[in-house]
Amino acid sequence: AYSGMSSPSAFAAVTVAVPAKVSVAVQDYSLSYGGGDYPCVAARRGDGAWDCSLDARKPSSDGERWTFLFALNGTLFTGSDDMKMDLRSNFTGEKLELKFRNLKGGEFSSTKKAPDSGAL
């Protein structure tokens, strides 16, 4: 069960380079913040259309960039420009701390702008 989902008025996006041998799906990851876990609700290959299906997809090339979209409880993010959240594998429980920038209603960056390493 995911917490705080009665009013998901905020979204977070994580762009990753996926090895060609790895399948990806929206149910693979969640974000943890403030004691709550928030689901990945859609994914997209490059700057393509968002896909909310649960079907696993394989990248067409090594290092292909995928963006995962997470629904968050927007009441937790008032006024903060930057925040840290944990990207969690729903299979292994492994966590990676990521820094997020509050776009305050702006658009997500293109995957083409994502650096080869580090965070966007």
Per-residue pLDDT of the chain (120 residues; tens, 9 = 90+): 445 455 557 888 888 888 888 888 888 899 998 888 898 999 988 888 888 887 777 777 777 888 899 988 877 766 666 788 899 988 888 999 988 877 666 667 666 666 666 543
Supply 112's token pair.
């083409």
Edge-first strand order for the sheet with 36-45 is 10-18, 64-72, 36-45, 29-33, 82-89, 95-101
pTM of the shown model: 0.77
